[in-house]
């Protein structure tokens, strides 16, 4: 375990009610967003709040545990470390690297003396396997890269234009707090993380051979950040570049990237008809810094980059998010959480009357009582325009919705 780490209070507070309960806690998210450190924080919490806890820790990224390959290996190892005289707290990092791990977890749950925590970097394997074998016996938490307030905390900075500029260029991978926020050093680190995610969580896991196409696809997504995209459009674009790839294969590769938590797909939602469209999605990146390793930060992309950051804020706060459609108008984000709905428009600057009409006018056409917000970088943002809130983006990112 590390000697020190920075406490991520928001996550721990969500998890605390389930500590000590015989329900499996599953932490998912992109590689290097801090899932392992979440386990370390929980281990310390257990040590402080339970008498003589028996902690069993397995990290499949360490060579010490390379021989744990199957559920049988996992069961035998855990049995050798467990006790009947006190509660066993089992922590498993990158559990998807153990074959049929779900069989072992089901056995531990049945025994009734285990409190289990595990992490994984593949959405499909975790959700399908655990849901099948452990229905009703687990709860899932997604760990994200740092929010803007966490970025400020980790790097010991204050909220300022300079700090925000670093955030939108470098993103929020937690390990960056060990590195001076200097462009060459940061992007060298981020490029290595990008390669690890792509090679381990996509190429190796799905035994892909067409690496050149995967790289082209990632570059296309970075260049078309937040644009309406279909698999056919991507396939047609590649054909124009003399690369013959079927629409089916494009869809498969997009799903692999999404399962690795590298990208996030947003479906369109018809606000008036209350239905989800099955075609023409938008894709965003779970960490904007990794996007910027593919397509270096450029002010021409600022509006889409701000959209990506606003989306990540909404996801961190637990909203289900869609791209909104109201008649012939587009709403950047429709965010739902329980019975709460928020409509959000994002603009770099409200520079003139036409932009004002587009951002505020689109929201004003939605005739309901749900909260409506325009987010921009304008320093003189109005607090309210005909019931639509206008917030500076730094205020929006810091406040709790």
Three-state secondary structure readout of 287-337: CHHHHHHHCCCCHHHHHHHHHHHHHHHHHHCCCEEEEEEECCEEEEEEEEE
Are 185 and 328 contained in the same domain? Answer: yes
Residue 160's domain spans which residues?
148-398
Are 105 and 169 contained in the same domain? Answer: no
Are 106 and 187 contained in the same domain? Answer: no
Are 95 and 161 contained in the same domain? Answer: no
| Helix (H/G/I), strand (E/B), else coil: 31 | coil
Residue 371 has pLDDT above 70, yes or no: yes
Distance CA 330, CA 217 (A): 25
In 3D space, the residue among 24, 207, 205 whose CA is nearest the CA of residue 124 turns out to be: 205
Contacts of 295 (CB under 8 A, 6+ apart): 219, 222, 223, 225, 301
Distance CA 313, CA 139 (A): 22
Query: What are the tens digits of pLDDT across the range 24-55?
Result: 999 999 999 999 999 999 999 999 999 999 99
Q: Is residue 3 part of a domain?
A: no
Return the bridge partners of 99, or none.
Answer: 70
Residue 129 has pLDDT above 80, yes or no: no
Show which of 89, 119, 142 is a domain's final residue. Answer: 142
Task: Provide the pLDDT confidence category of residue 327 given band limits of 50, 70 and 90.
Answer: very high
Distance CA 279, CA 228 (A): 9
CATH number, domain at 128? 3.40.50.300
Tokens of 115: 């409190």
Are 267 and 344 contained in the same domain? Answer: yes
Mean pLDDT taken over the chain:
93
- Quote the pLDDT of residue 373: 97
Residue 126 has pLDDT above 70, yes or no: no
Residue 127 has pLDDT above 80, yes or no: no
Query: What are the tens digits of pLDDT across the range 217-242?
Result: 999 999 999 999 999 999 888 888 88
Q: What is the mean pLDDT of residues 367-374?
A: 96
Residue 131 has pLDDT above 80, yes or no: no
Could you count the other beta carbons within 10 Å of the beta carbon of residue 329?
14
Q: Is residue 2 part of a domain?
A: no
Are 155 and 292 contained in the same domain? Answer: yes
């Amino acid at each position: 375990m590390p000697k020190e780490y920075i406490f991520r209070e928001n996550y721990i507070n969500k998890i605390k009610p389930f500590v000590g309960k015989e329900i499996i806690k599953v932490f998912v998210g992109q590689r290097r967003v801090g899932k392992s450190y979440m386990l370390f924080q929980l281990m310390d919490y257990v040590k402080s709040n339970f008498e003589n806890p028996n902690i069993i820790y397995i990290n499949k990224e360490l060579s010490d545990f390379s021989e744990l390959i199957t559920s049988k290996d996992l069961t035998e190892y855990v049995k050798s470390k467990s006790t009947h005289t006190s509660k066993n707290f089992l922590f498993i990092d990158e559990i998807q690297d153990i074959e049929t791990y779900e069989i072992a977890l089901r056995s531990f749950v049945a025994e009734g003396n285990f409190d289990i925590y595990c992490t994984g970097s593949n959405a499909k394997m975790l959700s399908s396997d655990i849901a099948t074998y452990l229905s009703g016996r687990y709860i899932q938490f997604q760990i994200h890269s740092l929010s803007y307030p966490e970025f400020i905390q980790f790097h010991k900075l204050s909220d300022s234009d300079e700090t925000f500029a670093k955030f939108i260029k470098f993103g929020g991978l937690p390990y960056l707090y060990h590195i001076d926020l200097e462009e060459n050093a940061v992007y060298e680190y981020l490029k290595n993380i990008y390669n690890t995610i792509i090679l381990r969580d996509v190429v190796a896991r799905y035994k892909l051979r067409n690496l050149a196409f995967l790289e082209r696809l990632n570059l296309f997504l970075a260049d078309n950040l937040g644009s309406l995209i279909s698999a056919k459009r991507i396939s047609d674009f590649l054909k124009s570049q003399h690369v013959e790839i079927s629409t089916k294969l494009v869809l498969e590769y997009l799903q692999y990237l999404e399962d690795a938590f590298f990208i996030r797909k947003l479906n369109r939602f018809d606000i008036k008809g209350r239905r989800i469209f099955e075609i023409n999605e938008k894709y965003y990146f779970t960490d904007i810094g990794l996007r910027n390793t593919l397509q270096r930060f450029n002010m021409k992309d600022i509006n889409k980059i701000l959209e990506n950051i606003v989306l990540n804020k909404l996801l961190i706060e637990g909203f289900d998010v869609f791209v909104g459609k109201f008649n012939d108008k587009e709403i950047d984000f429709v965010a739902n959480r329980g019975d709460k709905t928020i409509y959000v428009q994002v603009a770099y600057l409200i520079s003139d009357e036409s932009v004002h009409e587009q951002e505020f006018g689109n929201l004003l056409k939605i005739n309901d009582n749900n909260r409506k917000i325009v987010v921009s970088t304008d320093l003189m943002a109005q607090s309210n325009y005909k019931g639509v809130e206008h917030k500076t983006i730094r205020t929006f990112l810091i406040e709790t919705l």
